[in-house]
Amino acid sequence: MKNQTGQRMKKIILFVLLAVTAGIFSTKYYDTDSLAFTPDSLIVLAPKDYYPEETEIVNSLVSRYHYRKFKLNDSLSAEIFDRYIESLDHNRSYFLASDINDFEKYKNQLDDFLMNGELNAAYNIFKVYRDRANDRFDYIEKIIKEPLDFTLNEYYEVDRKNAQWPDTEEEANEIWRKRVKNDALNLKLAGKNPDSTVITLSRRYENYRKAINQYDNEDVYQLFMNSYTQSIDPHTNYFSPLASENFKINMSLSLEGIGAQLQQDDDYIKIVEIIPGGPAYKSNKLNRNDKIIGVAQDDGGEMVDVIGWRVTDVVQLIRGPKGTTVRLQILPADAGINAIPKEIKLVRDKVKLEEQAAKKEILNFEQDNINYRIGVISIPTFYSDFEAQQKGDKDYRSTTRDVKKIIEELKADKVDGIIIDLRNNGGGALNEAIDLTGLFIKDGPVVQVRNSDGSVQVGADSDPDIVYDGSLAVLVNRFSASASEIFSGAIQDYERGVIIGEQTYGKGTVQNLIDLNRVMQGSDDKLGQLKVTIAKYYRINGGSTQSLGVIPDILLPSSVDADEFGENSEKSALPWDEIKPTKYNVTGNVKDFLSLLNSRHKERVETSNEFNYLLEDIRESMEERNQNQISLNEEVRKKEMEKEEEEKFQRENERRKIKGIKLLNKDEEIKESSAPEDLYLDESAKVLADLIALSIG
């Protein structure tokens, strides 16, 4: 059993959640149907009396333990300022230009304020934001019932993050008039009648108003402190006491629901993590960065519009008893501005360890007149049942133990090669990544960890046994992160197998969670928690996995824009760099075959109708996502939607014609696409078959 990670790794915390972590917002719950706000009832916002001391502790911990050596100076102050403003008004539609000009006096002072625990500036900015938001919602209340003319050739600017701030109230109102009109047109095209549209939008914008007016002193403090910590590094976060509780709940996976972590993203609720083994994962219908815009209970429950809701209120709707049904209305992550919402149905359940476990399948196919049997081991996360291990259970579950058993089964089934599928695997237990690598190499280093003090430790496999020495491939995508990158990077460095897929996420940092009450002992106040980046991962060749990720030997087309999704899309992400390589002996010779493998792969792709369809879809999707203006003319929008539906219909019939399947008529609905179930896995198996043939030859 490969369960030893080397003496030099003992000082490293064996279990680090390496999954890409999302910011968690406050967990207070409000009755969104009965709570009303008037200017006189708004929460009085001011920093609590112990916040200066808590801020001093955060400053001390971050400056002392953070991997990045930074100075809290005017330059960082400007970054914090910009991030705080952006966190409040990402789309530049609340604040006026005069507000921003007035706030500029704080731009180079926030560093001094933070060092002295002075927080009034943050609260002053937030109060202006709240006032401006209420001004906008007052205007919307006046116009929302007015008839709308969808024959005019007007356009709504979807993304205003680089736009000018509105100079006047009238300019701001015009932005919101077009936004309301766009929302109304979306509902009309979805089949809503005028009365229903008014009701839906009235509720939606009232929810916007309530969500902003419900922010209290703790929320504002968390928002500002995160603007500070995330200016240093995107994975360094401050959690308020209530947010800390929610963080613990999410990490324990103990609540019954759909098995997804959610985050507020402007006015939408975005999926930031699909939990392996949960209902969302098993459905294969939800993806990272999908946006949830509606939630309904059971089969006949009314779909509740949740645009503008706080994330915690949406979580309350989605969570529920095991075995009950929840329906979600989503906007797919890869859809453009004309996206048509999809409805999916999920049955709530607990996330079980056995459902997160590695699974196998065997692909049988013929290539170049040779029959191949390729074993596939899918690993959704790097897991280990530490509780069972600590109790002395000799049969405790772990990634490495389960994969070892599967390999023995596949060897008994006489497979010609094995693919390790790490797509969407966001990480998990570090020691499992090390031990799993050990199943395929004799022994040696797997990962280097450089700490904030500059010291470097090596995580190594010290067991000389090799469980599998046959042909190997590792399949990754943009959402393979952390532990997945450590494993695939090591396999690539040892030339033990061929890496296939998309450039990985690039999350190569280690975080530690600190309870501030333990630091400030004796305090009667309930403080929050601080998650600090304390170390960085490096491959055995010296290169970091941070920001760059792992570049596959065989690149497959990606529908994900690397500039939008991935570590390097974060402004404050730590950079890629390299340290001295550690000593290791290359065990394979994959590089000798990469040129031929790539040329054969390209030949297949160029002559594959399915890959051509895929490339065309990716190109069209990219064009749509880059489109920033959307027509508010109903006929124009209808024609765009009809064009998309027609292209989808023609594509399906092209597939059917090639496969000899009955063609669809114009009035027939596409109930099930005839597209291949997993084009990338099929191509990976063919690449591995090429490697097997070349190795034998």
Helix (H, G, I), strand (E, B) or coil at 2: coil
In the residue annotation, 526 being an active-site residue is answered as no
Among 313, 402, 493, 690, the one annotated catalytic: 493
Give the Cα separation of 521 and 507 in Å (integer).
33
Could you tell me how far CA 289 lies from the centroid of its own chain?
6
Among 507, 531, 536, 686, the one annotated catalytic: 507
Helix (H, G, I), strand (E, B) or coil at 344: strand
In the 3-class helix/strand/coil scheme, how is 437-505 assigned residue by residue? HHCCCCCEEEEEEEECCCCEEEEEECCCCCCCCCEEEEEECCCCCCHHHHHHHHHHHCCCCEEEECCCC
Q: Which residue has the tokens 């500059």?
A: 454
Residue 147's CB: how many other CB atoms inside 10 A? 6
Could you tell me how far CA 341 lies from the centroid of its own chain?
20
Rg (CA), the chain: 27
In the residue annotation, 482 being an active-site residue is answered as yes
In the residue annotation, 631 being an active-site residue is answered as no
Enter the tokens of residue 103: 């706030």
Instruction: Single out the residue of 546, 532, 436, 402 nearest to residue 13, CA to CA.
Output: 532
Residue ranges in 254-376 assigned as alpha helix (H): 279-283, 311-318
Among 482, 484, 621, 631, the one annotated catalytic: 482
248's CB contacts (< 8 A; 6+ apart) are: none
- Residue 615's alpha-carbon distances to 597, 620, 621, 622, 660, in angstroms, are 20, 9, 10, 11, 23
- Taken in order 179, 181, 185, 191, the sign of the CA dihedral is positive
Residue ranges in 89-162 assigned as alpha helix (H): 97-103, 110-116, 120-143
**Which residues are annotated as catalytic?**
482, 493, 507
